[in-house]
Structure 1
């Protein structure tokens, strides 16, 4: 339940505090006094679209703060805590929305806060559905929509009906996806066949050449070695001669590097008996000798194995050319070619299984169609049951709203074809008076009639024993009494008061007949300061007693001090108390 709303620099409101209590609260005041801005502020708190143009002229930003008291088992409370919100000491939840004015280089940014934590605007909108239901002139227009009428009937039908609807929508979405895939497979049959043939050709080529992992790298090294065999032999032989010497080369064994190092080692070892430093150096020189000897041995072995093999070179080059034909088409190297072949094989299996996939999808689509038919029949049965009950409940309410003889009829007929919301077309028709033909709400109802029908439906949804509609803690009506007067206005007030029993209803009204039924009457006025009209903290008053009579008299005649109007206002208050 909303406990209070605080508004700053929004429209004509400079600063206002709107305290709210359980029951029926009406908001009245002269045209342009700022009543609409109160609802604009509430809309911002509920995640509505922010308009920088609503920021008061001269203000840097507008701010709206609301305080909500929630039961401990509330889904709103759970969602708020999930978003990181913190509760005040009294257990209430504070919602804040700010809107910056548009300035050069600024786009009028809006920010939202929930329980002291900055949250996306969508979080406020998410919890708004559980907190408040708002009805205004736009909602009356939407009631003309068959979709809105279907939603009202489904809400009235109850939670079990909603569960069937949810299952139907899920099955509908799955079937749409299956049918789309089935259509794609069928339409792309030739394209898939061409793709499969190209994959088979490529895989056949890969299979014929049969590349091995790393083969291209190994072949490159082997070809390089075979192509430079003589250069390699000369380099290895020369190095071997320098290390160990060889007759006929000018490097005898005594002049070879290994012999010279051995000579140095022996000299150091002899002297090392007298100096540890030289002894250590002798050891290091000995190690160098061992390395030279090992290198010479390896060179000799290398020379024995190294052979010029033109036939093998030609074979290796032809093999590399085969591999190159693959890498030109399927990858930068053999590794990528093998990866392509693996993926192509899996894709080919999928393509070759096209007929099987088509059969499986067709079977799945048929199964889902049968499920939709079953669920759709349950939805139709639920709507038919709820239609008669809702029509009866609303008709009863209309009789109390000075529309004696009026009837609401709810028609549920088969649609041309099933859709995402079932296989029915729901239409509400109004018989405005006895003997009149039934006409669709979208065509035959006047503004005043539509206001009362909407209120009757809302009361039926909220209070009828058979209704399964979710009832929020707070209802807000913006001039729901438009186009209504006289006895009808009195009955609108009576029904709003009935709706407020056990809950909270906030109504913006111009009718004294409606305002007389309020448990709390708030009046909005404007002050003139610094050459501009503005609503200040003191301009939102909770009126009682004689002050309330004066306000009702003003609403009735435009003159709050008129004796006749005051008498009429007092009579309205008395009648409203008797009626309740």
Structure 2
């Protein structure tokens, strides 16, 4: 719902601020006053093409901003968020439209349960450049159009945007068909999605059979190669450490022997060197202190430490001796085995992963893939049977959907025909054609087309063909009135929907616009007082001319504002008789308002 629209320097409108009612809003004014500029302003927010000629003379740019209240789960909110707009603000205000600021409401975004505020902005420079914004975020014009079109539907003399496509007409009919139909359609869509997935898998298997067979052969060869080597996680690191040890075995043996001799002395059978060694020296120190350790506790503590060191040196010496003895003469043969094993692992890591762990993981995944590929024949048979069964069931469901659509189409056409008769089109016929398609689709196997025969004996043609702009606006009004409770946008704009009618038909148009406004917000540009009398919010566009001594001789400006109850009587009197101070016209105006209120 549009809460407020601000317009500056657009056409003859220098500046205007429109506060709109959630129900029926009407815009009136003398010919040339700028009523259509209001619709033009709203059109800019829907992504309409911007012309530099629309900028008010002498101004650098025209600007239109609108604040809307939107359900939090509305498609427009999702589109705005995808464009980067911040539409779920928790603060008390929303600021920064595309060229300036608009203050938020006192309650802030989401001031109604489950609703949020959305800002749309559009500027057009006198040089022809155009900019768009959604809740403070600059966006392409196309994005603004998507967001706006999700919220607002325009029906005008040249714009009949809603239900223009076959898809929109089918969706409208489906909405009219009711909740039971919606449940059946949801079930059909779920099964159709499963069918598409199975078809895609079957097509992939059969269409790429040769490729899959080759892939299986390659995987088989690769896995055989890996299995022959049988890599173990962490093995490459262990082999690297072992190779380093084997390559330096003599240096390691010499170092271990030298260290062992330094600690406990050389082997008696191999040396006559009786130089003191670490174990003997430490033992000598321990013996010297043990004789007197009972005479001083401090010295006893030191003696205990030396005794601990002596035990550690003896252990280390024993370990070094054992280590040197373990370095046997088979080192070169083992080193060759290690080098070969590392070469085998390196070959695998070059082909299947950066390390042994990656190779093992790849092998596990490939075994599962190979199992799938090797079962292609069985899987094809299973899929073919499943697809055939699913198609049979879906054709049956599609037939049931068609039966219900045809019934709904008959009721819809009848209801629209009744509305058309009341809108001064008694001989117009609405036809909703439901035709079977050759293939199943995501919504069944039906093509829906809404056709109109505007006159008796006329061939039914698609909406938009064979009817004048005024007739088409009334046709769309009739359809929207019927569909309002089932399928509708949040806001409808009707421009000159009453063209070419008057009297009783005008009253019926006003009444049906009021009926539509019970479900959605309606904004109507009209020249008929019978229509305006039904409005809950009356907006007048008033033109004034100012003369000056400039070369241009002056300028024209339009004032746009909502009318009070008494001002509304004046405006209807002007529309009735051209004289707002006429007593009879004013009396007639009051009568129109009273009759509309009593309806």
Establish whether TM, by shorter chain, passes 0.5: yes
CA contact (8 A) 2:132 2:144 kept: no
- Map 1:84-233; keep pairs closer than 5 Å: 95=117, 97=119, 99=121, 108=131, 110-112=133-135, 134-137=154-157, 140=160, 142-233=162-253
Cα deviations across residues 126-162 of structure 1 (Å, max 9, x unaligned)?
A: 9997x87654456625545433333332232222223
SS in 2 for 1:26: strand
**Displacement of 1:29:** 1.9
Structure 2 distance, partners of 1:481, 1:38, is 17
Asked if 1:550 corresponds to 2:551, the answer is no
Query: Is 1:64 the equivalent of 2:66?
Result: yes
* Correspondence for 2:527: 510
Q: How far did 1:123 drift?
A: 13
Query: Does the residue aligned with 1:510 lie in a helix, a strand or coil?
Result: coil
Q: Equivalences for 1:388-427 in 2 at 5 Å?
A: 388-427=410-449
The Cα shift of 1:518 comes to 4.1
- The CA deviation at 1:354 is 1.9
Contact 1:261–1:285 (8 Å) recurs in 2: yes
The 5 Å alignment of 1:141-540 reads 142-246=162-266, 247=268, 252-253=273-274, 255-269=276-290, 277-309=298-330, 310-462=332-484, 469-470=486-487, 475-482=492-499, 489=506, 491-500=508-517, 505-518=522-535, 520-526=537-543, 539-540=561-562
Give the match's secondary structure for 1:140: coil
Judging changes above 3 Å, is the alpha-carbon distance between structure 1 residues 283 and 36 closer, same or farther for their aligned structure 2 residues?
farther
Rounded Cα–Cα distance in structure 1 between residues aligned with 2:283 and 2:577: 128
Structure 2: distance between partners of 1:193 and 1:219: 37
User: Tell me, what secondary structure is at the counterpart of 1:405?
Assistant: coil
- Output the CA distance in 2 between the equivalents of 1:231 and 1:503: 93
1: CA distance between counterparts of 2:163 and 2:236?
74
2:9–2:62 contact (8 Å) kept in structure 1: no
* Alpha carbons 1:28, 1:35 under 8 Å: kept: yes
Q: Please give the TM-score of this superposition, normalised by the length of structure 1.
A: 0.77
Separation in 2, partners of 1:270, 1:162: 104
Change (3 A) 1:203 1:417: closer
Distance across 2 between alignment mates of 1:547 and 1:108: 36
**Separation (CA, whole Å) in 2 of partners of 1:99 and 1:503:** 22
Relative to structure 1, is the Cα distance of residues 339 and 55 closer, same or farther in structure 2, using a 3 angstrom cutoff? farther
CA distance, structure 1, for counterparts of residue 427 and residue 355 of structure 2: 87
Q: 1:49 to 1:360 in 2, by over 3 A?
A: farther
1:485 deviation in Å? 6.1
CA distance in 1: counterparts of 2:299 and 2:510, whole angstroms: 118
> Residues of 2 paired with 1:406 and 1:124: CA distance?
33
Decide whether aligned partners of structure 1 residues 569 and 479 sit closer, same or farther in structure 2, where only a CA change above 3 A counts: farther
Following superposition, the deviation at residue 484 of structure 1 comes to 5.2
> Which is further off, 88-97 or 382-391?
88-97
Q: 8 Å contact 2:260–2:321 — kept in the other structure?
A: yes
The alignment of Structure 1 onto Structure 2 pairs a total of residues equal to 547
CA distance in 1, matches of 2:195, 2:415: 37
CA distance in 1, matches of 2:371, 2:226: 17
Mapped to 2, the partners of 1:75 and 1:256 lie a distance apart of 87
1:494, distance to aligned residue in structure 2 (A): 4.4
Q: What SS does structure 1 have at the residue aligned with 2:329? A: coil
Q: CA deviation at 1:304?
A: 2.7
Contact (CA 8 Å) 1:526, 1:539: kept in 2 or not?
no
The answer to whether the 8 Å contact 1:477/1:506 transfers is yes
Q: Report the alpha carbon displacement of residue 457 of structure 1 after superposing the two structures with TM.
A: 1.5
Relative to the length of structure 2, the TM-score reads 0.75
Q: CA deviation at 1:224?
A: 3.6
- Give the 3-state SS of the residue equivalent to 2:465 in structure 1: helix
Q: CA deviation at 1:308?
A: 0.9
> What is the Cα deviation at residue 381 of structure 1?
0.8
| Structure having the larger proportion of residues in helix | 1
The answer to whether the 8 Å contact 1:26/1:518 transfers is yes
CA shift digits 1:103-128 (9 cap, x unpaired)? 99x99563439xxxxxxx99999999
1:461 CA drift (Å): 2.7
Tell me the CA shift for residue 380 of structure 1.
Answer: 0.8
> Residues 58-117 of structure 1: CA distance to partner in whole angstroms, max 9, x if unpaired?
68975434579x9xxx998xx99x95779978969773526375899x99563439xxxx
User: Per-residue deviation at 1:532?
Assistant: 6.6
**Once the 2 structures are TM-superposed, how far is the Cα of residue 193 of structure 1 from its aligned partner?**
0.9
Distance in 1 of aligned mates of 2:537 and 2:320: 108
Instruction: Give unpaired runs (5+ residues) of structure 1.
Output: 114-120, 463-467, 555-559
The Cα of 1:471 is off from its aligned counterpart by: 6.4
Distance 1:296 1:553, change over 3 A: same
Pairwise CA distance, 1:508: 1.4
SS of 1:28's partner is: strand
Q: Label 1:388 to 1:184 Cα distance change in 2 as closer, same or farther (>3 A).
A: same
